[in-house]
Homo-oligomer: A and B are copies of this chain.
Amino acid sequence: MLEFAILGLLQDGPLHGYELRKQLGRRLGGFRAFSYGSLYPALRRLVRAGLIAEAPDPEGPGHGAGWSRRGRRVYRITAEGKERFADMLADAGPQAWEDGSFGVHLAFFSRTPAETRIRILEGRRRTVEERRDGLRSALSRTGEQIDRYTRELHRLGLESSEREVRWLNELIATERAEQADASGGPAGRPHTTITGDDAGTAAGPGSGGERQDETTGGA
């Protein structure tokens, strides 16, 4: 996962370890951090594999590639690395929607093929729905007898899952709309209508974060 993330970040230009970590933290929104204890070994691994290489520091008095002013080591992605990253983006096995990986994949979604994006989103949805259903039934059956704090924990998890499913449904809907838009022009097949969307209810009273997603044509 870390190696994937590094490769992804280096697509936008050479970076050194420290900066790499900061950018990654920002992208993931604190959602996943990656310590230096993972980062530097990963960097060396990637160099050994030929997927990245040391580059001259644009800010330092270049002694060619390698160390620079502040003892920084700057890295750039190689052609081979780009290739490998593209493969990883398209492959996206079933672990791509597990808790830890999903966020990282999402962080590089704009470089991910559209079909893979939808596949990941739907896989994630299935996963979260399962968790949600499990929590739901655990909470409903035998109200008494289980620990009060455990119940609170379950309540938090349940609402969390419900929220995330709704969020995923929005994203999926947008993806489909864009795909239909891009492929068929206005004549398109009614592809998009099938989304089950069980979470139709508007956010309740109070904190309604419900914002309609404007269709920004990113990518």
Contacts and interface: CB of A to CB of B under 8 A. Distances in A.
Interface string A85-100: 0000000000000111
A30 B134 contact: yes
A39 interface: no
A164 B163 CA distance: 12
B159 A32 contact: no
Contacts of A210: 156-157, 160
A147 to B, nearest CB: 5
Number of identical protomers: 2
The bracket for how many chain A residues form the interface is 35 or more
Contact of A100 (B148, B202, B213): B213
A193 interface: no
B99 A217 contact: yes
Given A160-B208, A210-B157, A219-B164, A150 B27 contact: yes
Nearest to A166: B207
Contact of A31 (B29, B106, B147, B217): B217
A29 B216 contact: no
Interface of A is mostly: helix
A153 B29 contact: yes
8 contacts: A29-B131, A29-B135, A29-B153, A30-B134, A155-B167, A159-B209, A160-B160, A167-B219
A115 interface: no
Given A99-B217, A110-B149, A219-B164, A159 B208 contact: yes
